[in-house]
């Protein structure tokens, strides 16, 4: 057949790690790291992450727990966090300032112009309220717990995962004309009491409080008096894994439970990550926060151990963020009412060790930079004839790039017409092996990588010389690996090509031609670009891949 030009992409289906790489859709990819689907159909490099100076005090060995934003009168906004150890602080934009050193708060919500800080069940001291002018005021009657929300001029507190008793109680404050109070006799509701599940998180949804337990979801609605409210079970098999597994955006709630992500809308759950199940390559049981979900700049960020999965709410596709600067990336906190053309957010590390300060993300290309590797690996293409050998004459990519790219073509079933006797003799990689021989010499010279000298107890000097020998295939090995004269084994099945594009109209769209000629039955393509995310190297866009393929039924029966 004649050579055909075949376009792969645009990859508007995004990431698919659930299916085998041979069976995913043609517009999906098997790996997508630090690239996101843009509205123009291209895959665009993510914004950079930068580390800010200033660790939260006394956090080493414990970590940092960011609780949320408090907005003071006059418009000042403070990010509140605890050191998971003994104190709670607020970030004023440049440094951490102490709120209280009587406990490390487990939750925070704002009501009546105050930040209400919840003490964990293990704390010997109570929670209380705080604002910058008054300072922290403890309240001995305030219940302890692990989650909190403000709704209808009241503060509601759930026990959290660490509560050993009364885990199904939802506590509420009382209200007066001037302030929120906590009665000496707690006021509470029992949500599914006796089911053995603790209340782990809370969210406001229209006129209801949505209560997330360890394996179920409930709603509570009331008009004036909570004692006359109505409780309903919304799901008896979907809950949350921990605090921080609930994120809200407009009229939607997003939830992480087990290794699934759900959208909660109109009181129904819809799974969002069927094609990208949450997974970890090295789950760390010591993490104080191993799973979470958060929203920022039309994205959902899902942390699952060392992995960060990102879901675009604009286009409905998944990708992964990977950073050498911040491993174990936590929840992302946007600055309220300050998300314009350059949205800004903060994040942190969830590990107990390492840097326990803030990291900043700006959703724009500017002067901030972070070295990152953007990479994509396509599905395994067979071009409609999986049993036949095809010939890839050449291929190329349509990109906008200010940096060089590394392109890889990987045949899954491979045969090369240029197999030689030397390549067969030398085996995989052609490296062979080595051994050492001994020669006695009267005077030692200088040691090298291939020669060294040993002085024996008798005073005799031995010279050891490295001798390289081929460590190749034998006919028996070739036969055991399925090699025939129709298909000889070639160990070099991954072909790479590095192309420097920065000097050829940097920043404009271009076609980069790659000249490898290969025979294959199935093949995938990989593109890697190193960028800093700043004006000099970003953004990087990948639009599609162009291939020129011809049908090849047979491999030539020859060895050169």
Give the residue from 242, 262, 292 where a domain finishes: 242
What is the pLDDT, as a whole number, of residue 477?
61
Q: Is residue 287 part of a domain?
A: yes
Confidence band of 225 (pLDDT split at 50, 70, 90): confident
pLDDT of residue 423: 56
* Residue 128 within a domain: yes
Residues 259, 380, single domain; the answer is no
Given this model, what pLDDT does residue 224 score?
A: 82
**Residues 114 and 222 both lie in one domain:** yes
Per-residue 3-state assignment (H helix, E strand, C coil) for 411-429:
ECCECCCCCCHHHHHHCHH
Judge if 522 and 396 occupy the same domain: yes
State the residue for tokens 């919304």. 234
> In this model, does residue 437 exceed pLDDT 90?
no
Nearest-angstrom CA–CA distance, 104 and 82: 5
Mean pLDDT, range 362-389, rounded to an integer: 92
Q: Identify the band that residue 433 occupies on the pLDDT scale cut at 50, 70 and 90.
A: low
Listed range (15-24, 54-63, 443-452) with the worst mean pLDDT? 443-452
DSSP tag of 282:
S
Same domain for 185 and 120? yes
In a shared domain, residues 251 and 296: yes
CA distances 534 to 39, 370, 530, Å, are 20, 8, 12
Q: What is the average per-residue pLDDT within 104-111?
A: 98
In a domain? residue 139 = yes
pLDDT confidence band for 529 (50 / 70 / 90): very high
Structural contact between residues 552 and 416, judged by C-beta atoms closer than 8 angstroms: no
- pLDDT value, residue 490: 46
Domain for residue 87, yes or no?
A: no
Q: Give the C-alpha separation, 399 to 184, whole Å.
A: 66
- Can you tell me the mean pLDDT for 161-168? 96
Q: Is residue 177 part of a domain?
A: yes
Regarding whether 359 and 382 lie in a shared domain, the answer is: no
326 within a domain of the structure (yes/no): yes
- Do 332 and 401 lie in a common domain? no
Whole-number percent of the chain with pLDDT over 70: 87
Q: Give the pairing of strands 14-15 and 28-33.
A: parallel
How much is the average pLDDT of 345-350?
A: 97
Whether 251 and 215 share a structural domain:
no
Q: How confident is the model at residue 175 (pLDDT cuts 50, 70, 90)?
A: confident
Whole-structure pTM value: 0.85
Residue ending a domain, among 207, 242, 277, is 242
In a domain, 419, yes or no: no
Compute the distance between CA of residue 258 and CA of residue 515 in angstroms, rounded to an integer.
46
| pLDDT at residue 300 greater than cutoff 70 | yes
Tell whether 35 and 114 lie within a shared domain: no
Return the ∠ at Cα 310 (arms to 309 and 315), rounded to 5°.
140
Q: Are residues 54 and 41 in the same domain?
A: no
When divided into structural domains, the chain yields a total of 4
Least confident segment among 119-123, 224-228, 472-476: 472-476
Query: Are 523 and 545 found together in one domain?
Result: yes
Answer yes or no: is pLDDT of 155 > 60. yes
Give me the mean pLDDT over the 99-128 stretch.
97
pLDDT in tens, 388-413: 888 888 899 999 999 999 999 988 75
The answer to whether residue 80 scores a pLDDT higher than 80 is yes
What digits encode the pLDDT tens for the residues 455-499? 777 777 888 777 665 556 666 665 655 555 554 544 445 677 787
Q: Can you give the length of the chain in residues?
A: 560
Based on the domain organization, do 238 and 248 belong to the same domain?
no
Q: How far is CA 116 from CA 60, 475, 503, 552, in A?
A: 26, 76, 56, 71
Mean pLDDT throughout 199-212? 96
The H or E element that residue 278 is part of is none
Instruction: Give the separation between CA 10 and CA 543, rounded to whole angstroms.
Output: 6
The pLDDT, as a whole number, for residue 448 is 78
Instruction: Answer whether residue 75 is part of any domain.
Output: no
Phi-psi region of 175 (alpha: psi -120 to 50; beta: other; left: phi over 0): beta
Q: Which domain holds residue 195?
A: 107-242
Q: Which residue among 226, 242, 258 closes a domain?
A: 242
């Amino acid at each position: 057949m004649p050579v055909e030009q075949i376009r792969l992409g645009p990859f508007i289906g995004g990431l698919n790690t659930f299916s085998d790489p041979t069976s995913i859709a043609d517009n999906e990819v098997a790996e997508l790291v630090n690239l996101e689907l843009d509205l123009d159909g291209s895959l665009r490099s993510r914004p950079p992450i930068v580390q800010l100076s200033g660790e939260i005090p006394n956090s080493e060995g414990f970590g940092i727990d960011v609780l949320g934003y408090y907005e003071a009168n006059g418009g000042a906004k403070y990010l509140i966090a605890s050191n998971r150890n003994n104190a709670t602080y607020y970030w004023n934009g440049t440094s951490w300032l102490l709120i209280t050193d009587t406990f490390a708060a487990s939750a925070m919500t704002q009501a009546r112009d105050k930040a209400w800080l919840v003490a964990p069940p293990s704390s010997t001291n109570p929670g209380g309220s705080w604002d910058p002018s008054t300072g922290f005021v403890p309240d001995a009657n305030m219940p302890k717990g692990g989650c909190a929300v403000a709704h209808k001029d009241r503060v509601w507190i759930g026990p959290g995962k660490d509560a050993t008793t009364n885990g199904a109680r939802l506590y509420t404050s009382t209200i007066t004309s001037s302030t929120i109070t906590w009665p000496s006799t707690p006021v509470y509701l029992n949500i599914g009491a006796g089911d053995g599940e603790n209340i782990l998180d809370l969210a406001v949804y229209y006129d209801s409080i949505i209560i997330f337990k360890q394996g179920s979801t409930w709603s509570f609605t009331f008009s004036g008096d909570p004692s006359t409210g109505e409780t309903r079970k919304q799901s008896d098999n979907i809950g949350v894994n921990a605090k921080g597994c609930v994120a809200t955006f407009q009229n939607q709630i997003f939830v992480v439970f087990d290794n699934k992500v759900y959208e909660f809308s109109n009181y129904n759950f819809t799974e969002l990550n069927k094609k990208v199940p949450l997974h970890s390559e090295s789950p760390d049981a010591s993490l104080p926060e191993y799973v979470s979900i958060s929203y920022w700049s039309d994205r959902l960020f899902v942390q699952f151990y060392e992995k960060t999965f990102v879901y675009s709410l604009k286009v409905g596709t998944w990708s992964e963020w990977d950073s050498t600067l911040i491993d174990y990336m936590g929840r992302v906190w946007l600055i309220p009412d300050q998300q314009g053309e350059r949205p800004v957010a903060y994040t942190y590390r969830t590990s107990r060790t390492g840097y326990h300060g803030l990291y900043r993300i700006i959703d724009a290309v500017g002067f901030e930079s972070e070295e990152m590797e953007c990479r994509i690996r396509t599905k395994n293409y067979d071009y409609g004839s999986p049993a036949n050998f095809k010939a890839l004459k050449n291929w190329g990519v349509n990109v906008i790039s200010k940096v060089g790219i590394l392109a890889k073509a990987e045949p899954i079933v491979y045969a090369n017409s240029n197999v030689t006797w030397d390549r067969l003799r030398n085996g995989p990689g052609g490296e062979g092996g080595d051994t050492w021989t001994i020669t006695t010499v009267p005077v030692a010279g200088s040691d090298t990588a291939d020669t060294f000298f040993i002085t024996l107890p008798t005073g005799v000097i031995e010279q050891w010389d490295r001798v390289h020998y081929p460590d190749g295939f034998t006919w028996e090995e070739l036969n055991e690996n399925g090699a025939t004269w129709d298909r000889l084994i070639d160990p070099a099945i991954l072909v790479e090509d590095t192309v420097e594009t920065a000097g050829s109209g940097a920043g404009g769209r271009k076609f980069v031609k790659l000249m490898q000629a290969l025979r294959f039955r199935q093949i995938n393509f990989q593109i890697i670009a190193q960028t800093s995310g700043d004006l000099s190297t970003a953004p990087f866009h990948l639009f599609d891949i162009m291939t020129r393929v011809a049908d090849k039924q047979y491999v030539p029966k020859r060895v050169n």
